[in-house]
Amino acid sequence: MEGNVLIIGLGLIGGSIALALKKEHQQATVIGYDLNEQQAKLAKSLKVVDDCCEFYEEAALEADFILISVPVMQASKVLEKLSTLDFRKQVLISDVGSTKERIVEAGAALFPQKNVTFIGGHPMAGSHKSGIIAAKAHLFENAFYVLTPTDLERDAKQVETLKDWLKGTKANFVTMSAGEHDLVAGVVSHFPHIVAAGLVHQAEDLQQKSPFVSRLAAGGFRDITRIASSNPTMWKDILIHNKETLLQLIDSWQEQMNLVKLDLEDGNEEKLFDFFQKAKEFRDGLPVKAKGAIPSFYDLYVDVPDYPGVISEITGYLATEQISITNIRIMETREEIYGVLRLSFQTDEDRQSATECLGQYTNYETYIV
């Protein structure tokens, strides 16, 4: 496709979409804007965008496609500012926020004119790194990319145009209402962040009774609560934007915990077993390789003996096969985990290659949990 594209916000998400777009649509001109001028200049020097602008209003008037890639609170303000411009040609506007109902409602109210179409979007993939330096064209490959038009039937043609602009991401596009999106995202992403933070708060409180809490939390507890390390400002904003859904989910969770509490008080072994059994069955049936709302960790546990040089031995074999490791950690607490060494990789393909590599060079057992 030919035309002008404006990316407002040049972080990991905006930068990755810009790279995918440039790769797919080489005839298009991609202009970038970021509140941090140095970030914008860096994006240009890294060829993430073709050029950058100091103010986005003028570039917006020349754009055929505008992508708002800023936090949810700021996205609404950007949309309001864009609505004050006098667009003379057809323009398609989208965002990448993880809550959709409020901004889709705002888009419908702010852009009644026929030549401006706003379609909400949420690429459900990310990385444990941030910033324009971490941007990569394949970040969203095989991930779900949710599109939330104001009117599913009326905006059908523009939805297809948006998919064409974004097809370089190689994402799996899903179209749904903004309300359905916020419910689904609330269940699989927003609410788990609340639970993770709550578990960490509980551990912190109980540490006053025993200093071993933090020491023993270095294993599985740290892993299952890793999302509690997410950006506090971002998650405060997400909760405010998805308030009604999350209030319902919290009520539902409290009801379920009360039932577990009653079963525990009554010593009802059958119901307690059923609680864990049904959870196991549903969890085991979830897709393994598909990318979801929470960025995946591609971890490989290696059961190695404890002797000097064993870590350099393992990393040496992987280096020989040019397999990159993103993190490496010796496990002190290994309850439910069978390997003493945890290797983390950027992709599932790297993890699979590492498994094959270690199988070729060593007799150490490897596990994926």
Q: Indicate whether 172 and 211 sit together in one domain.
A: no
* Tokens at 110, concatenated: 């702010």
pLDDT in tens, 44-103: 999 999 999 999 999 999 999 999 999 999 999 999 999 999 998 999 999 999 999 999
CATH code at position 280: 1.10.3660.10
Q: Is residue 291 part of a domain?
A: no
Q: Which whole number is the average pLDDT over 34-41?
A: 94
Q: Indicate whether 159 and 172 sit together in one domain.
A: yes
- pLDDT class for 229, splitting at 50, 70, 90? confident
The predicted structure's pLDDT at residue 310 = 82
CATH code at position 361: 3.30.70.260
DSSP string over 119-133: EEEEE----SS-SGG
CATH code at position 141: 3.40.50.720
The DSSP call for residue 187 is I
Separation in Å, CA 13 to CA 68, 136, 362: 10, 9, 39
Does the structure show a pLDDT above 80 at 113? Answer: no
Q: Indicate whether 88 and 9 sit together in one domain.
A: yes
Q: Indicate whether 171 and 196 sit together in one domain.
A: no
Contact yes or no for 10/132 (Cβ under 8 A): yes
Q: Is residue 292 part of a domain?
A: no
Q: Is residue 260 part of a domain?
A: yes
Distance CA 68, CA 71 (A): 9
Q: Indicate whether 103 and 190 sit together in one domain.
A: no
Q: Indicate whether 164 and 229 sit together in one domain.
A: no
Q: Is residue 221 part of a domain?
A: yes
Q: Indicate whether 223 and 360 sit together in one domain.
A: no
pLDDT in tens, 169-181: 999 999 999 999 9
Closest-CA residue to 48 (of 9, 75, 74): 9
Instruction: Identify the domain boundary among 117, 146, 176.
Output: 176
Distance CA 336, CA 330 (A): 15
Does the structure show a pLDDT above 60 at 333? Answer: no
Q: Is residue 290 part of a domain?
A: no
The predicted structure's pLDDT at residue 288 = 66
Instruction: Identify the domain boundary among 223, 252, 284.
Output: 284
* Averaged pLDDT score across all residues of the chain: 89
Contact yes or no for 181/122 (Cβ under 8 A): yes
Domain span at 350? 298-367
Q: Indicate whether 42 and 162 sit together in one domain.
A: yes
Which residue's structure tokens are 């490897």? 366
Q: Indicate whether 93 and 14 sit together in one domain.
A: yes
Instruction: Identify the domain boundary among 258, 284, 310.
Output: 284
The predicted structure's pLDDT at residue 335 = 46
Pairing between β-strand 65-68 and β-strand 91-95 as defined by DSSP bridges: parallel
Q: Indicate whether 227 and 350 sit together in one domain.
A: no
Distance CA 150, CA 107 (A): 8
The predicted structure's pLDDT at residue 143 = 85
Q: Is residue 28 part of a domain?
A: yes
Q: Indicate whether 19 and 74 sit together in one domain.
A: yes
* Neighbouring C-beta atoms of residue 65, cutoff 10 Å: 23
Contact yes or no for 241/72 (Cβ under 8 A): yes
> pTM of the predicted model, to two decimals?
0.79
Q: Is residue 293 part of a domain?
A: no
Does the structure show a pLDDT above 80 at 114? Answer: no
The predicted structure's pLDDT at residue 330 = 74
Q: Which whole number is the average pLDDT over 249-276?
A: 97
> Three-state SS for 27?
coil
**Number of domains making up the chain:** 3
